[in-house]
Amino acid sequence: MKQFLACLIMAISLRATERPIKAANNVHPISPVKNLFIITLDGFRWQEVFTGADSMLINDQDWSSDQETMKLLYWAPTAEERRRKLMPFFWNVLAKKGQVYGNRDFNNKVNVSNIYSVSYPGYNEMFTGAADFTISSNDKKLNSNLNVLEWLNKLPGYKGNVVAFTSWDVFPFILNKERSGITMNSGYENLDGKDAVQSLLNKVQTESVHNKTGTRQDELTFITAKEYIRNFQPSIVYLAFGETDELGHRGRYDLYLEKAAQIDKMLGELWHFVQSTSGYKDNTAFIITTDHGRGRVSNKWSNHGFFVSGSSQTWLALIGPNITPFGEMKNHEQIYQKQIAQTIAKLVGENFEGDGHIAPAIVLK
């Protein structure tokens, strides 16, 4: 009861002090694209995105057992060098051709609005356009809130062309697969179809992966998604990676960095596929972000939540033919995760009409 009251007081306090959100209707609207890929790295901190490997964590035996190899792979004297070593596609291609938000060293901020700073509340906020105080945990309960993917799937231009491939097996509840009708593949779920490659992927998942958890290996999620995209070319794709958060909770900073580097490579492969495929080329945008942050100090980095400082701090990146290539945003600005839902709709030329008050789209420069 005491924890509930503390949460309630904090919620009221945050609502009272939250900065007003700028509406997107004060700027010239961007030209919509036909295709949109939304990609999330679960629980991946803004600190690693903008400054690369953390010196305190990469040099701590408790968090990084093989320090010599980790430093060879990811360490460099400056933050700019470190982040390029960790995420070369992100910083050498995406940042140069798109926009990246959330470097708090420049007072450019992205935050969740929900007070819990855990995954289900974060993804709910991201896709419904509002924080829901009643969603406080990662319990597998069907979400009653309308999400933007479900809403797009009901429009004539996108019906049957909205898909989600997720490593975490809670997404069918977050996005309410039963109600939404979205084509979805989550956790170690086999992919429907008689294609030889799909059959082989199903066989690998079923027979070769031992000690399965609720989070599928991200590489399997990516391969499964890419095979589906290659065959069916859906217009709206949600790709949710989960191992960064899993490894963070295990306190394996070395593997957390390794997984981020692998995801960066997969992002580059996916962007190359899009830019070299008819129907996607020059008509596709990417939104890349995370559901929550993590602790800011070295003894708290592996955790996140209501009582862990830094957990609400996130980041956001966009790239596409309708995104002005401003790169790393260094202006003083505050963006909230709940603005992403309407931004998704605006990028494809739609206006999301949710269950209630929907936060306005991000004002893209």
| Residue 363, in any domain of the structure | no
What is the residue range of 288's domain?
Answer: 2-347
**What pLDDT is attached to residue 134?**
97
pLDDT digits (tens, 9 = 90+) for 267-313: 999 999 999 999 999 999 999 999 999 999 888 999 999 999 999 99
| Residue 356, in any domain of the structure | no
Nearest to 144 by CA among 178, 115, 187, 181: 178
Q: What is the mean pLDDT of residues 173-190?
A: 95
| Residue 183, in any domain of the structure | yes
Q: How far apart are CA 61 and CA 67, in angstroms?
A: 7
**What pLDDT is attached to residue 24?**
42
| Residue 321, in any domain of the structure | yes
**What pLDDT is attached to residue 354?**
83
In which band, very low, low, confident or very high, does the pLDDT at 183 lie, cut at 50, 70 and 90? Answer: very high
DSSP string, 163-188: EEEESBTTHHHHTTHHHH--EEEETT
**What pLDDT is attached to residue 20?**
55
Question: With 80 as the cut, is the pLDDT of residue 193 above it?
Answer: no
CB 358 within 8 Å of CB 341: yes
| Residue 361, in any domain of the structure | no
Q: What is the mean pLDDT of residues 62-88?
A: 96
Q: How far apart are CA 106 and CA 328, in angstroms?
A: 10
Question: With 70 as the cut, is the pLDDT of residue 194 above it?
Answer: no
Q: How far apart are CA 191 and CA 184, in angstroms?
A: 9
pTM: 0.92
| Residue 113, in any domain of the structure | yes
Q: How far apart are CA 331 and CA 109, in angstroms?
A: 9
Number of structural domains, the chain? 1
| Residue 147, in any domain of the structure | yes
pLDDT digits (tens, 9 = 90+) for 91-114: 999 999 999 999 999 999 999 999
Q: How far apart are CA 286 and CA 268, in angstroms?
A: 11
The CATH number for 111's domain is 3.40.720.10
Nearest to 319 by CA among 284, 362, 343, 269: 284
**What pLDDT is attached to residue 11?**
46
Question: With 90 as the cut, is the pLDDT of residue 171 above it?
Answer: yes
Q: Is 52 helix (H, G, I), strand (E, B) or coil?
A: coil
Q: What is the mean pLDDT of residues 199-211?
A: 75
Question: With 50 as the cut, is the pLDDT of residue 9 above it?
Answer: no
Radius of gyration in angstroms for the set of CA atoms belonging to the chain, rounded to a whole number: 19
pLDDT digits (tens, 9 = 90+) for 84-93: 999 999 999 9
In which band, very low, low, confident or very high, does the pLDDT at 21 lie, cut at 50, 70 and 90? Answer: low
Q: How far apart are CA 256 and CA 244, in angstroms?
A: 5
**What pLDDT is attached to residue 196?**
63
**What pLDDT is attached to residue 29?**
66
**What pLDDT is attached to residue 200?**
74
Assigned token pair, 361: 């789209």
In which band, very low, low, confident or very high, does the pLDDT at 1 lie, cut at 50, 70 and 90? Answer: very low
| Residue 78, in any domain of the structure | yes
